[in-house]
């Protein structure tokens, strides 16, 4: 069952605090109760308290509760005084209630809305404004770095006054030999010839043998008791209404159950394993040729009766250059372009930073021959 609780208010004129909610005038300065907000000791509107947290609450008896009533006070439109719901005229100035346009909650909500709007309209702290202003230079720095990086990646690295000191080539042809292998497996592949066979364990199957019991500890939540807690709501007239509620309190209960689990044993599974011979083409060697001139040719393979050429053939064409500091570097080119390069040639090689492409260029920077790092 709900009960009525005494509320309190503070005088907005002289600052007196903790004035009982059924007092209509400040006991210190005599001013009528005006624009105030009611509160509970050590609590607030819609607060929740446990059974043992209500020692400071002052309950009103039936006569006091009837005197205060349940409805909120109304505001006098002329002197801004709060008056009891049952008062037909303002106790401070005598104005009729009919001229009242709001009650306690209306004024409280307006005040809270005004405070929120005032807080939102306040200027930001100086530190935040400085931080906001500093973003533009930072963005300009980032933009400059990005532009610089783009320009750098689109640029090139040029090696000039290079002299060709040699040209080289190499070619190779992979060769396979037909070799007989002896192998064993659970089946004979196409082309294999059986030598022998025998029974062996191919795998182990897990087969159910029996079930065994074991105990498992479990837990569950069971109802232990009910406890009472209380909520409070502002009546808007200097009092609060206390409403009791009940909630279930559970405890953890432990118990043991017997469960069964299967037990498996490994059982060998036998199969026929074959030993067989099989011929396979196997890469065994390469026929190679190389030189330091432009007379590139493919080598003789000199195939035996059990050999054959395979793919892919490999070919490589390179040239070596030195700079003015005698630093050497070898580059690759296609055969067609490589044949245009001769020992003693002078050249400039430019490498694009972004793509990594390298070219022999003329004095105007035109790409002549594509080259590759060796």
pLDDT tens per residue, range 207-246: 999 999 999 999 999 999 999 999 999 999 999 999 999 9
Name the band, by pLDDT with cuts 50, 70 and 90, for residue 310.
very high
C-alpha 5/C-alpha 38 separation (Å) is 12
Taking CA atoms, 75 is separated from 32, 93, 238, 356, in Å, by 11, 12, 14, 83
pLDDT-based confidence at 130, cuts 50/70/90? very low
* DSSP H/E element including 31: none
Quickly count: other Cβ atoms within 10 Å of residue 169's Cβ: 21
pLDDT band at 1 (very low <50, low <70, confident <90, very high): confident
Q: Which of 9-18, 142-151, 357-366 has the lowest mean pLDDT?
A: 142-151
Position 204 confidence tier, pLDDT thresholds 50, 70, 90: very high
Q: What is the pLDDT of residue 139?
A: 77
Run of H or E residues at 99: none
CA distance 11 to 345: 103
Which residue matches tokens 């109802």? 223
pLDDT average, residue stretch 267-280: 98
- CB atoms under 10 Å from CB of 83, counted, come to 25
Higher-scoring residue by pLDDT: 153, 36:
36
Q: Report the C-alpha dihedral over residues 42, 47, 51, 54, rounded to 10 degrees.
A: 30
Report the pLDDT value the prediction gives residue 309, as an integer from 0 to 100: 98
Residue 370 half-sphere exposure toward CB, CA atoms < 13 A: 6
| Nearest of 216, 270, 227, 280 to residue 249 by alpha carbon | 227
The candidate with the shortest Cα–Cα distance to 83, out of 65, 102, 66, is 102
Beta strands in the chain, from DSSP E residues, in sequence order: 3-6, 8-9, 19-20, 48-50, 74-75, 82-83, 156-185, 193-234, 239-291, 307-309, 314-322, 328-332, 346-352, 358-361, 367-373
Q: According to the model, what pLDDT value does residue 319 have?
A: 97
Work out the angle between the directed axes of helices 135-153 and 126-133 (0-180°, nearest 10).
20
Which percentage of the chain shows pLDDT scores above 70? 93
Q: What 3-state DSSP class applies to 185?
A: strand
Which residues are 82's β-sheet partners?
75
| ∠ Cα 83 89 92 (to 5°) | 60
Residues 192, 9: contact at Cβ < 8 Å? no
User: What's the confidence (pLDDT) of residue 240?
Assistant: 92
pLDDT band of 298, cuts 50, 70, 90: very high
Q: Which pTM value belongs to this model? A: 0.51
Tokens coding 331: 């580059």
pLDDT in tens, 38-78: 998 875 555 788 888 888 889 999 999 988 888 999 999 89
Nearest to 242 by CA among 252, 254, 228, 232: 232
pLDDT digits (tens, 9 = 90+) for 157-171: 888 899 999 999 999
Cβ partners under 8 Å of residue 192, min gap 6 = 183, 276, 277, 278
Q: Tell me the average pLDDT of the chain.
A: 90
């Amino acid at each position: 069952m709900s009960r009525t609780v005494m509320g309190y208010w503070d005088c907005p004129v002289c600052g007196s605090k903790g004035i009982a909610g059924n007092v209509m005038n400040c006991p210190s300065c005599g001013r009528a109760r005006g624009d105030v907000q009611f509160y509970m000791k050590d609590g607030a509107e819609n607060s929740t308290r446990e059974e043992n947290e209500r020692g400071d609450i002052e309950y009103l008896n039936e006569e006091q509760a009837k005197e205060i009533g349940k409805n909120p006070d109304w505001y006098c439109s002329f002197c801004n005084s709060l008056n009891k719901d049952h008062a037909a005229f303002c106790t401070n100035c005598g104005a009729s209630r009919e001229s009242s346009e709001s009650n306690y909650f209306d004024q409280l909500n307006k005040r809270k809305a005004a405070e929120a709007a005032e807080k939102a309209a306040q200027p930001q702290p100086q530190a935040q404004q400085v931080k906001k202003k500093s973003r533009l230079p930072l963005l300009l720095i980032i933009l400059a770095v990005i532009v610089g990086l783009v320009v750098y990646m689109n640029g090139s690295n040029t090696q000039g006054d290079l002299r060709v000191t040699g040209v080289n080539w190499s070619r190779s042809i992979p060769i396979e030999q037909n070799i007989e292998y002896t192998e064993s497996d659970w089946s004979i592949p196409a082309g294999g010839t059986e030598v022998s066979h025998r029974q062996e364990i191919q795998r182990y199957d897990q087969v159910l043998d029996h079930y065994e019991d074991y105990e498992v500890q479990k837990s569950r939540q069971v109802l232990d008791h009910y406890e009472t807690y209380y909520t409070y709501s502002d009546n808007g007239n200097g009092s609060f209404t206390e409403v009791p509620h009940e909630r279930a309190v559970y405890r953890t209960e432990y118990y043991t159950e017997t469960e069964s689990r299967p037990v498996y044993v490994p059982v060998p599974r036998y199969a026929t394993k074959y030993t067989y011979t099989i011929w396979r083409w196997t890469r065994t060697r390469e026929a190679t040729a190389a030189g330091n001139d432009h007379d590139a040719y493919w080598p003789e393979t000199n195939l035996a009766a059990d050999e054959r050429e395979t793919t892919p053939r490999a070919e490589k064409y390179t040239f070596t250059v030195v700079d003015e500091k005698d630093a050497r570097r070898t580059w690759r080119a296609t055969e067609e372009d490589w044949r245009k390069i001769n020992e003693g040639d002078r050249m400039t090689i430019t490498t694009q930073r972004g793509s990594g492409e390298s070219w022999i260029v003329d004095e105007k920077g035109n790409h002549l021959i594509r080259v590759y790092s060796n």
